Structure formats: structure tokens, C-alpha cells
Structure 1
Amino acid sequence: MTSAPPCLRPGCTGHYAADGYCDECGHKAPVGAAASAGSPSGAATPAGSPTGGAAPAGSRGGMTSAATLGGGAPTGAGLAGVSTGTGRSSRSRTAGRGRLGANLVVVPPVPLRDPATAVQSDPAVPESQRYCPKCGEPVGRGRNGQPGRVEGFCPRDGARYSFKPKLRPGDLIDGRYEILGALAHGGLGWIYLARDRNISEAGTDRWVVLKGLINTGDPDAMAAAVAERRFLVEVDHPNIVKIHDFAQHPDPDTGENVGYIVMEYVGGRSLRDLALNNRGPDGTRVPLPLAQVLAYGIEVLPALGYLHDRGLLFCDFKPDNVIHAEEQLKLIDLGAVRRMGDDVSALYGTPGYQAPENELATVGPSIGSDLYTVGRSLAVLSFDFSGFSTRYASSLPPAETVPLLAAQESYHRLLRRATNTDPARRFPSAGEMAEQLTGVLREVLSAEDGIPRPAASGQFTPERRAFGVPHESAAARLDGLEVVAALPLPLVDPADPAAGFLATLSGGDPASTVAALETAPVTSLELTFRLVRARLEAGDLAGARAALPAAEPEAYDWRLDWYAGLLALSDPAAEPTTAWDLFDKVYDALPGEPAAQLATAAAGELAGDLAAAARLYERVWRVDHGFVSAAFGLARTRLAAGDRAGARAIYDEIPDSSSHHVAAQIAAVRVHLDQEPVGLAEADLLDASTRLERLRLDKQRRETLSVEVFRTALAWVIRGSGTGAGVPGQAAAAGRAPNGGGQRTVPAQRTATAGRILGQVLSERDVRLGLERSYRALASLEPDRGARHALVDLANSVRPRTVV
């Protein structure tokens, strides 16, 4: 039996099934794929084109539309999904799970809809959406209880308008497309369902969608339609609907030929429709779950990136224009798509989603303005965004008024960057925004279920070493230089001119690295950053500061703030808040990066805001247990807040496979030992003993810790007996007995208790015997004669004297 040839799409692990489509990504096999399965190239199956009209919302001349999420064009009714009626409809049902949610979250599939049920019985444009195609003024509005005119002339400029569908059920377009009825409408055209009589497979006709113009006399809309004919036929992406053909049909009123775009029919529901119909247990509408919204964003951004890579801008992204069908999303309505740098075509968008009008009027549409619309759409889907097209048309509501934003700091920062009023501060590409969205999704999911979801970063190396690890002689104190030496490193941009040269550096001593960098054959920003780091490692703080370039005013680069933050941490004269502010900006730019949060947490701890540091440490640790520094930082902040049980719980989460597991367990033992006896319970002493006995320590370290355990236990026992003898460890350390001199006389009987620590019953006599034994064991290991005698003296001072 011949095995199925592997899919040729880069990164796909699927195989082409008998029907010629990949069982994983759903792409059609290129011609000859079975014979050339090893070929490195493969054509993607076309998947994109418009099916839902975009409302005109902001041309350079100031055209505006009232279409919004709450009052826009009807959406969702059978406008998305996978092509049906071609013999391939089973492909999406039999294929493996799609990648919706980046394989991190299960998004409920949306069933396909029967095309015949999607047709509107009485198609009409709501009066609230009728505007003059020329000046944008409201037209066709009712008065005195009388409905508005569907056709007529604008009272302001006399331009003719018409909001009637031009095609009727039964009309035959180009002799092959039989109209079944109108599906929906948008700013650039009516959308009709039709049957392609010329193409049938297994006796089933192919369903298609035809899109024409709402008003055939609108020159801007006509120009947009012509633009679609020029380049949209080449759009070929699995998350964008496919254009099949172009057709013409005479206008029933004027007799002039009207052009129609013929596209695949897809039968799911729009994200707008899903959001409007998402109900809570009491039946009231509630926002979609955040994880689901993030999954949607991760899915659609590659489609926008595909357009951007080909010099195209979508311009009118919104929940209305994204369809969820089964386990796939598709962008619809490419009517507003334009080429980058096009300063002539009319600009279409939707208030509340589109970038600020002054930006579009001066700078024009851009990748940044497209990503702005994605950020706005995510916000509308994820929380009750009242006033998003009016009061907050170009801003986000305060976080304190939106519980989701207050609870999900990283998500809030992501939205802030995507919708920044300064285009240079937004994400530079759809790919980078998708990467940060994925990081935020990992954080959200890990916070919910406690399961780590680590992933390799596209921006940073792993942390180089752990900082803040408790020493065996004392608890760790955070040090800025230690943090700088341990934090992850920003990855070198492979497109940088100096990338090849930097790869040749051997990583020797810092002085040699500085010399090599100063004589490098090329210059670049990456080389400058490497020089800053090398001078820091060499201890040349002034030289590192002098090498760091000033921020570029036209394009924000988070690495400038990152390295400035490292300089601030390394400078003992710098204010602790300086580094915190700088790393906080990096966190703003990279809200899905654990490395950015880790640096911000450490700087916040050094600046004294332990609560803020604890929140960030916990987020990092929950997502990725590879950041052991975050675990120790979280334990420190919990201890500082008096949460000893919480600190021990974090120490226990450091796995035994980690090189820092023993240090964590020793720290967990000491959590019980560094408090006053009044705060101790028997269970604390037993837990410390159990932990110590489980550790495989050398004799020196074991007996040192045993001394600490026994001293703490002795203080606790004495306090419980009411003798008021004080803390024996402190007295013994001074070289005298706990009672002020000589050996303490202890009754022979033991305290009534079932507990044992390190093999000794929790009574004063037995604890003293255990402490004496540990002191003598340490003395036997001590090579220094004076120190050895001091330990023997301590052993003698705590030895009990029994009176019979």
C-alpha cells in the first residue's frame, strides 16, 4: 500500500489524503505533489475573498459610516466556513483538528449552515445604515411615522442613491450563476447566494457568493470594485475566502452592466454574531471567554500578515468580517483592501475599529493601522466595551472600570500597544503581534489551571542562570549586578548586517570581546548592543553608557530600554525606580514575554514594590518553570509578606530535576527556622525534619542544618515548658549555657509528645542530646583546631544533666 505523500506546506506535518487535500492544514496538493513529495515548494490552496460588505468609514475626504458592532450590517448568517457542494464538504469534517488556538485551547466548533437557510426572505438595508454615497449624509430616513425611501436623491448634493438588491431569485448571471437570494449587505455591496450550474461534482451543484455594489452610481465604490478585479484574484490563503470568477449582469433600472465578484460560499457565523449571542447562565449576553478571543486573534493575524507581505492592507478588520466555521476562521469582505502607498483610492473602515481619523488623513493606512483594528476588535469581543465607537472611539476605558483589564495586566498592555495613538509604538508586524498574543494566551491558561506552558521565545534566550538563590548560610538578598548577569539576552536579529560577525565571537573574556567589537569590519545596531553588554561585563559602566545609542524618534525599539535598564541595575548610584520604569516599558512592548516580566519584577523588588514584583514573578513561574529565578523571587516576596506556607509551596514546585532543587528544599527547611518560637507549631518542626531527612546532603551540610533544626526545636520546647530560658542557640553561640552558665539540669522524664525530629523525641532532654551530637559531628569534620574546640564547647554547653 502506497503511503500518503507529506504536505509540502512549510511547517505542516500532515499528508495529502485521497481527495487531494492535506489532512492537517486542509490545503490542496499542488499538481504532481504525489510524485514530488520531497520537493521543498508547494502551493497553498486559495482561500480568500470578500463576502460581507465593508461599511465606508473614513475616506481621505471624510466619508463616515454609522456601521458598528451594535448597529452594523447583519452578519454571520451563512457567510463563512468551508466550500460546500463541490464534493469536498467532508474534508473539514474528516481532517485533523485545526490549529485554531495555537493548539493551546479548544475553541468550540461552529457547525456549517445549510446555504438555503441563509437567504434573507425580505432583504433590506436598515434606515440607520443608509447614507449618501457621495457626501455621507443620512438618506432614506423615515419621517412622521412614514418609512424612508429605498431609492431617491440626496437632499444635500442631489446624488442618486439606491439600497435595493439588483438581483432577484431565479436571475441567471453569465448564463451559469443562478441567484437564490440575498444573504447580507455591506458598505460596498449586496451579497447573493447562487448556484454554479457549470460545476458539479457527484451530482451536487457548487454554491457560490456574488457581491455587487449597493449603489451603482457611486464612483468610489466602483473604483474599489475595479481594484478588487486587479489583484484580489491572486489572494491565496486558507484563512481568506477564495475568489472564483468575475461576472456581469445588466442593471434592471439603467440597463448598464454591473460587475459581480464570484466567491466561495462558506457557512459558519461571524465573530460579531457569536459575540452578540453569547449568553450566561441567566440568559444575559456576556463577552466571549478571553482565551477564545486570543485564539481568534492568533488565527487571523497570519492572514493579515499574508496580505501585508504582498503589499496589501485590509483596512476594515472587525468582528463582522471574520467567520468561524467548524474549526477554522476566514476573513471575508476584501472590498476595502488596498495597496500600500495608494493615495488615490477611497479609504473605507468602520468607526470604533479604524485608526484615528487624523492619522488616516495625514499618514494614511498602514500595517500599524491594520493591527490597530485587530486590537480594537479583540477588546470589543472580550469585555463589555460600551461607547467603543463614541466616547472611547480612539482609546481604551480605564482598567479600573473593566474587571478583565484589571485582572489581566498582560492582555491590557497588549491592547494598549496595538491601539497606541502613535503608530510607531504599535506592533511592527502581524507576526510579532501574533507572537505576543500567544504568550499572553499561555499566561492566561496557566493562571487558570496551574499547568506550565513553556515555549521558546522569538525575542530572548532562556535565563542564563538563576538569581536570588538562597545561600546555605543565609537567605538570599537580591543584587542588581547578579540580576544583570542572569537575565535572558535579546536574540540577535539575523537580518542585521553584523549578525554573521557576532556569531563568530567565542564568548571569551569581556576585554577581548570589547577589543574585537571595537575593530569589527561592520557597524550596526546589533553590534552596538553587543558592545554595551561586553563593557558591562568588563565592569566599564561609563563605557557601556556611552556606547548605548539614543532612542530613534521614528521607530520604537524596546532593546534600547532593555539595555538602559541593565545599566541602571548595574549602577549603585542609580535610583532603584529607574530600572523599574525602563523594564516596565519593555513589558509594555512585549506583553507576552516572560523575560520582560521577570526583569520588571526584579527591578520592582529592588525598588521596594514587593506586591507588584510578586504578581509578575508568579505569572512568569506559572507559565514556565524554566525561570527558576521567578520561583525564588515569588518565595522571597511571600516570606516578606509573612506567608511562610506560600513560600514553602513555591519551593516545593522547583522539580528535583532542577540544579536548584536542593537549594530550594534547604530554603524550605529554613522557612521554619528563621522565626520566633512563639510563631512555631509542632507541625513546622516535623516538616523541617522530614525535609532534611529526605535531602541527600554531604555530612557537613547535613549536620549544619541539623544544628539549626535542633536549636529552633530547643527554643520551642523550652518556651512551651514555661521556664523562660530564652533561645538556646543565641546563648550557645556566645559560648555559655542557655541558663547563663554551666550545664542545665533537665528532668529525666520526656515531654508527652508523639513527634520526633531527626530521630529525637520532641522533649528538652532528647533535643539537647540531638543538638550535642550534631555539634560533635561538626567538630569531627572541622580541620581548624580553634574552630573544632569551639564546637566541642558548644556541644558541652547544651548537653543535658540528668537528675535521678
Structure 2
Amino acid sequence: MANPEVAERRRFCSQCGSPVGRGTDGQPGRTEGVCERCGTPFSFTPKLSPGELVGGQYEVLGCLAYGGLGWIYLARDRNVNDRWVVLKGLLDSGDTAAMEAAVSERRFLAEVEHPNIVKIYNFVQHPDPRDGTMVGYIVMEYVGGQTLKELRSRPGPDGRPQPLPVAQAIAYALEVLPAMGYLHGLGLLYCDFKPDNVIQSEEQVKLIDLGAVHRINDWESATYKTDGYCAPEVVTTGPSVTSDLYTIARSLAVLTFDFDYSKAYKTQLPNPTQVPLLARHDSYYRLLLRATDPQPAKRFRSAQEMVDQLTGVLREVLAVEDGQPRPGVSTLFSPERHAFGTDTDTWPAAPAPAEVVAGMAVPQVDPADPAAGFLATAASTDPADLIGMLSAIPTRTVEVRLRLARTRIELNDLQGAINDLNELARTEPPDWRVHWYWGLVALARNQPRHARTSFDTVYSLLPGEAAPKLALAVTEEHLGNRPAATRYYDLVWRTDRSAVSAAFGLARVRLSQGDRAGAVAVLESVPDSSSQYLPAQLAAIRALTRDRDPAELTEDDLVKAADRLESLTLEAERRTRLAIEVLNAARAWVLAGRPGASRSGPRKDVLGCALTDRDLCGGLERAYRTLARLAEDPDRRTALVDRANAVRPLTWV
């Protein structure tokens, strides 16, 4: 710093909190003096000067920055290859609480060693130039780079500070959270996390200020906080693991969008109607809401839990931004048990609730549960037998009771499942899995509104998981809420191309909205490695031809459907049935006057038939006779021959 001094707006008495050192009548305020209200001395000048030697080995080079707990100096370590180090002292050596915090910092930091936390080398003392009293200085690793606050302050095209891309900010948080979890594992709380305290150094970020750290059960030490970042309960009940996670979420919000975080929105977030980013990335918004919930018990319980959900949100954000899928394995849900809504004989009808419930992912068993081993071996047991086995277990753990409820749903004993779940809700701490199974029960009962409420709760608690979004998508589809169904199906499919139920659902909803091209595009995006690739191709053919107004059909639609059918390997009866659908659509188009027909280019045909009524009727006759030969039922065979005769072109023979 060319001119190291504390801004007047940040000068307050360490004893009574009154403003001190403020200028009047255009004259600058004094940096040293006595508080007019309580008489406590204050000093806001650096205690070290360039060239001064601290602790016999650290040569001061100058001031780097200042903060609520102390000046930060750059120094050269003469004893270790002249490496650069950072010295952190007290802002006002008359501040008893600050001195206690520095001593606490020295004690705790001896235990800390993490790649994303600045290293502490030493703790030295040096006389105060005013009165000769010894002042403590922490000697820390020098980390070059910019703080996240500085990165957030970069001007945009309009000259104003520009928010960070949300994916970039999340990536920073995902590096910081393990460091925070490491501190929590040592029984320490960071207390005062904010963008100022994180530096990006090359390909790594580091926490650089541990001045507010103290032990989790320390109720005596002063707690340092920053308005706009700290949790509201810190003032009354003190900091906690959940309040630390709160500060990370608040920092994410500050980094990614503009809002008055220190005043109007000091303890809350603006809503998506005010911030387009939150409307675009609903999962991100829900994650911020959970992490900053006014009730600490409703927030993330650990840094790892927040990492898991934030990672899922990041995958989704990236997939939305660049269109590239980012699949990931969930630690909370199994994969889909069965793809639903993929039956091409009924497509594009929405899948029945029972089919959805049977295909949905299921929550993973907590491996710490005493019955986890037994439940793992019971995976292939017949549900009816499993009910008896589970009921006979003497210790009815949470996992056993949840498995009972799930098995009753599979057996369609929905009232029994509800009784099990209601008992769990009464006797155990809140558990998102209860809401999940309540949602499945409501869906099985064809009560989509109740199902939506339960699945929405799970989504808010687990915003990084795909399963709640898929459940909401199919629920909204059953409710006829096409925009919402489209949004959720699209989020799931963009992120993970193995979630084939989402692809079929998205295609159905787009088709119902008249977007046939969009429906076909989704079905075409099902990878050929998927077990549902063939059904997706067949659904695409039907999307192009089934239930079409001839005036809406185009020559290209018919040719694409025919070419797709000819490229597939199908058994004879199925191929012939689809051929009949395509040929009938083509004939209807021809009889309607061939709207939108190509006026130039080579002559086109569909399944070997020229686009004329006579040729198409001939193709239909051959197809019906092929089906008749394949039919085993005599009456069915006769009916197909009659259809062939009815459509047969008029000939002399």
C-alpha cells in the first residue's frame, strides 16, 4: 500500500464502538488519539515500518492490507532463503478483545494444515514504537494472487463491478468447503468467512485470514463477524457449523449477482423475479435458500453435505450453459430402476402412476444403520416375504421402517405405507426420505397435487439431485402444467443422458405443445449405447407421422420417418405395423394436395413407394397382406386381408 491508513468510515472505538478519528470541516481525522465518549486510546497507524526487523529474522517490506483484526505486512524471511512471508498484527493494540483473538489464533493455527488454508510458520513479538509494549505478530505463508472480493470488483462493459459467472463462483466454493470441513473436524469454527478472506493463487484458492477462528465449544472468546455475511443467530447464540456454511452461501450470492446484501437484504435473499440469474438456475437459488435458512436446523448439517449438493448444482449449471451433459453418481439415490414412459405402443401418452412409481430411483440405505447389512442382502427378496422379515426384526431402525414403507408401496398397500411414514415423522428427526415416499404414495393414488408438494420439499432440501426434479417433471405433466414439466425434464436430460425417462417425458410434453421438431430432436439425442435407443427411434417415427393434420405434414417429415424406419433392425410384424402408419400418413398428405411439397430436386419415395396415391395404396396393400400372413388368429387374418383388398389400387386383374 502506497499510503497505508484505515479509512475513516472504518474507525471505531475498541471499547464503546463509537466513531473515532473522523474529519471535520474538510480536515482529515486523526489516526491516533482518545475516544471522546469513553476515553479509550485508539491508534490506526501501522506499527511496523519498511526495513524494520521483527523477531530477529523478518524484514518488513511494507503494508499489504488491513482488516478488522489487524494490519497485514509483507516481509522477507532472512533465515529461510529470503522467502516472502506475511506478518499479521493488531489494528489497535489497545483493543483487549483483539489481543485475545490473536492469542487464540496462534494456539489454534498450530493444529491447522490443509492445502486450501494458509500455512502458519511462526508467532513473534515486537515492541510497539509508541510505548515499548510487546505486540504479537503471526508469521504466515505469503499467497500471491487476488482475493475473491477483488475478482468480483472487476469492471464490466458498463464500468460497474461485474458479478462472477455462477459456475466459477461455485467452483471456488467447492474448493473452500473441504477446508471448512477440515476445520470443523478439528473442532474449530471459521466464523468470519467472506470473499475478502479467499485468494485465488494460480490454480488454487486459499483461506488467508484465520483471525476469527475459535473452538466450537468456546463461549467466552469474542466472536468476529461481518454484517451481510454472518448468520442472524450468531449475535445471540454464537457461531456454529451451520453458521459457517451460511457465510459461504452468502458469499456465493454476493459473488454472483447484485443486491444490497448489508442492509435491505442483510439476512435474506432477493427472489427470482428480481434476479434473472436465480430464475434461470432454480437449483442454485434453492441451494442458497437452504444454506441461509433462518432456522439453523434446516440448513446443511456439514460441509460435505453442502459439497454433494453444490456439485450437483454445478453439473446442472454447466450443462445449461454449454449444452454438454455432466452426469454424476448420486450418494443419496439409486439410478432409475426402470425407464418409464418408453412404451412405443402407447406413446405419446403419459405413463401411468404405477409405472412411474415402479421405475423411480430409491433412496440409498444409510451404511451406518445397524440393519444396513441385512437390507443389502434382502434386495432380491419377494416383497410379500420381505414384509414378514422386516416386521420380525426386533430393532426397528429408521432404515428398516423406511424399507417397510417402500415395500408396502410396491405391494400397493398404500394406506399401510402412509401409516409407517406418519409414525416415522412423529417419532424421528425430520428426514427428506419420508417426504420422498409420501410423494410416491400420492402419485400412486393419482393425487399429483399432493405428490408435487412432497417432491418440491425434497428438491428444496436436495437441490443438486436429479431424482426430485424428474419426479416433479412427471407430476407436473400429470397436472397438465406443461411449462413446468418441460423445465424439469429438460434440466434432468441436459445434465445426464442416462436418465432416459426424462428424454421421453420431454419429447411427450414438447409434442403436446406442438413442437414436433423439438420432440424428435430430444429422441434423436438418446445415445445408441442406451437400452432405450430403439424405442426412442420408434417414438421419433411416430412423432413425425402419428395423429398429424395432413396440412402440417411435410415431404421431409415423411422421408425422414421412412428412412429412419428402414435403418432399424426390427422383427417383421413390428416393422410392418410402423410401415403402415408411415404409408397412411403419406397417403393422407397426398390426398390433401401435397402441401409443402418440394418443387425441385430428385423424385422422392417413402418405403419404396412414390408419393402418389396409387403407389402408396399398393404399398399399404402389401403391408396388410404381410401382417395377415404373420397373424395366428384366423379372424385377425381375415380382417387384415379385407383391409388389403379395401386399399388395393384398381386394376384390370
Return the TM-score normalized by structure 2.
Answer: 0.96
1:766 to 594, 600, 615: 615
Whether the 8 Å CA contact 2:120–2:138 is kept in 1: the answer is yes
Residue 458, structure 1, aligned to residue 334, structure 2: no
The one-letter code of the counterpart of 1:798 is V
Secondary structure in structure 2 of the residue aligned to 1:344: coil
Alignment correspondent of 2:222: 346
2:641 to 775, 792, 801: 792
Alignment correspondent of 1:154: 35
Alignment correspondent of 2:576: 703
Q: Which moved more, 1:550-559 or 1:144-153?
A: 550-559
Q: 1:165 to 1:721 in 2, by over 3 A?
A: closer
Secondary structure in structure 1 of the residue aligned to 2:79: strand
The one-letter code of the counterpart of 1:634 is L
Q: 1:651 to 1:329 in 2, by over 3 A?
A: same
1:609 to 471, 477, 481: 481
Distance 1:121 1:626 in 2: 57
Q: Percent identity?
A: 57
Whether the 8 Å CA contact 1:469–1:476 is kept in 2: the answer is no
The one-letter code of the counterpart of 1:326 is E
Whether the 8 Å CA contact 1:424–1:555 is kept in 2: the answer is no
Whether the 8 Å CA contact 2:438–2:454 is kept in 1: the answer is yes
Spell out, residue by residue over 1:22-41, the C-alpha distance to the aligned partner (whole angstroms, 9 max, x if none): xxxxxxxxxxxxxxxxxxxx
1:480 to 339, 353, 366: 353
User: Following TM superposition, by how much is the alpha carbon of 1:555 offset from its aligned partner in structure 2, in angstroms?
Assistant: 5.6
User: Following TM superposition, by how much is the alpha carbon of 1:129 offset from its aligned partner in structure 2, in angstroms?
Assistant: 0.6
Residue 661, structure 1, aligned to residue 543, structure 2: no
Alignment correspondent of 2:628: 779
Spell out, residue by residue over 1:384-432, the C-alpha distance to the aligned partner (whole angstroms, 9 max, x if none): 22x1100000011121111111111111111111111111111111111
Secondary structure in structure 1 of the residue aligned to 2:129: coil
Whether the 8 Å CA contact 2:108–2:214 is kept in 1: the answer is no
User: Following TM superposition, by how much is the alpha carbon of 1:284 offset from its aligned partner in structure 2, in angstroms?
Assistant: 4.0
Alignment correspondent of 2:150: 273
User: Following TM superposition, by how much is the alpha carbon of 1:466 offset from its aligned partner in structure 2, in angstroms?
Assistant: 0.6
Distance 1:170 1:779 in 2: 101
Distance 2:24 2:53 in 1: 37
- Structure 1 segment 419-438 matched on structure 2, within 5 A: 419-438=292-311
- Structure 1 segment 172-191 matched on structure 2, within 5 A: 172-191=53-72
Whether the 8 Å CA contact 2:398–2:424 is kept in 1: the answer is no
Whether the 8 Å CA contact 2:492–2:502 is kept in 1: the answer is yes
Q: Unaligned 5+ residue runs, structure 2?
A: 596-600
Q: 1:395 to 1:473 in 2, by over 3 A?
A: closer
Q: Which moved more, 1:620-629 or 1:712-721?
A: 712-721
- Structure 1 segment 437-456 matched on structure 2, within 5 A: 437-456=310-329
Alignment correspondent of 1:19: none
User: Following TM superposition, by how much is the alpha carbon of 1:658 offset from its aligned partner in structure 2, in angstroms?
Assistant: 1.4
User: Following TM superposition, by how much is the alpha carbon of 1:135 offset from its aligned partner in structure 2, in angstroms?
Assistant: 2.1
The one-letter code of the counterpart of 1:247 is V
1:384 to 258, 262, 282: 258
Whether the 8 Å CA contact 1:472–1:663 is kept in 2: the answer is no
Residue 632, structure 1, aligned to residue 504, structure 2: yes
User: Following TM superposition, by how much is the alpha carbon of 1:199 offset from its aligned partner in structure 2, in angstroms?
Assistant: 1.6
2:48 to 167, 170, 179: 167
Secondary structure in structure 2 of the residue aligned to 1:317: coil
Alignment correspondent of 1:545: 418
Spell out, residue by residue over 1:177-204, the C-alpha distance to the aligned partner (whole angstroms, 9 max, x if none): 111121111111111111111222xxxx
1:218 to 95, 104, 121: 95
Secondary structure in structure 2 of the residue aligned to 1:199: coil
User: Following TM superposition, by how much is the alpha carbon of 1:522 offset from its aligned partner in structure 2, in angstroms?
Assistant: 2.6
Distance 2:199 2:346 in 1: 61
- Structure 1 segment 639-718 matched on structure 2, within 5 A: 639-671=511-543, 672-718=545-591
User: Following TM superposition, by how much is the alpha carbon of 1:553 offset from its aligned partner in structure 2, in angstroms?
Assistant: 10
Q: Unaligned 5+ residue runs, structure 1?
A: 1-119, 723-751
Distance 1:250 1:148 in 2: 26
Distance 2:273 2:428 in 1: 32
Structure with the larger RCO, 1 or 2 (CA within 8 Å, 6+ apart): 1
The one-letter code of the counterpart of 1:443 is E
User: Following TM superposition, by how much is the alpha carbon of 1:474 offset from its aligned partner in structure 2, in angstroms?
Assistant: 4.7
Residue 412, structure 1, aligned to residue 271, structure 2: no
Spell out, residue by residue over 1:490-527, the C-alpha distance to the aligned partner (whole angstroms, 9 max, x if none): 11111222222222214211111111111124332122
Spell out, residue by residue over 1:9-30, the C-alpha distance to the aligned partner (whole angstroms, 9 max, x if none): xxxxxxxxxxxxxxxxxxxxxx
User: Following TM superposition, by how much is the alpha carbon of 1:121 offset from its aligned partner in structure 2, in angstroms?
Assistant: 2.4
Q: 1:144 to 1:552 in 2, by over 3 A?
A: farther
Alignment correspondent of 1:502: 375
Residue 322, structure 1, aligned to residue 198, structure 2: yes
Whether the 8 Å CA contact 1:425–1:556 is kept in 2: the answer is no
Whether the 8 Å CA contact 1:472–1:666 is kept in 2: the answer is no
Alignment correspondent of 2:598: none
1:229 to 86, 94, 106: 106
Return the TM-score normalized by structure 1.
Answer: 0.78
Spell out, residue by residue over 1:734-776, the C-alpha distance to the aligned partner (whole angstroms, 9 max, x if none): xxxxxxxxxxxxxxxxxx9822111010101000000000000
- Structure 1 segment 5-44 matched on structure 2, within 5 A: none
Q: 1:474 to 1:122 in 2, by over 3 A?
A: closer
1:287 to 163, 175, 198: 163
Whether the 8 Å CA contact 1:492–1:526 is kept in 2: the answer is yes
The one-letter code of the counterpart of 1:801 is L
Alignment correspondent of 2:15: 134
Q: 1:195 to 1:437 in 2, by over 3 A?
A: same
- Structure 1 segment 464-613 matched on structure 2, within 5 A: 464-472=337-345, 474-548=347-421, 549-551=423-425, 556-572=430-446, 574=447, 576-613=448-485
Residue 311, structure 1, aligned to residue 160, structure 2: no
Distance 1:718 1:399 in 2: 51
User: Following TM superposition, by how much is the alpha carbon of 1:137 offset from its aligned partner in structure 2, in angstroms?
Assistant: 2.0
User: Following TM superposition, by how much is the alpha carbon of 1:471 offset from its aligned partner in structure 2, in angstroms?
Assistant: 2.8
User: Following TM superposition, by how much is the alpha carbon of 1:132 offset from its aligned partner in structure 2, in angstroms?
Assistant: 1.2
The one-letter code of the counterpart of 1:678 is A
User: Following TM superposition, by how much is the alpha carbon of 1:778 offset from its aligned partner in structure 2, in angstroms?
Assistant: 0.3
2:238 to 350, 364, 368: 364
Distance 1:430 1:775 in 2: 65
User: Following TM superposition, by how much is the alpha carbon of 1:447 offset from its aligned partner in structure 2, in angstroms?
Assistant: 1.5
Spell out, residue by residue over 1:77-121, the C-alpha distance to the aligned partner (whole angstroms, 9 max, x if none): xxxxxxxxxxxxxxxxxxxxxxxxxxxxxxxxxxxxxxxxxxx22
Q: 1:257 to 1:555 in 2, by over 3 A?
A: farther
Secondary structure in structure 2 of the residue aligned to 1:261: strand
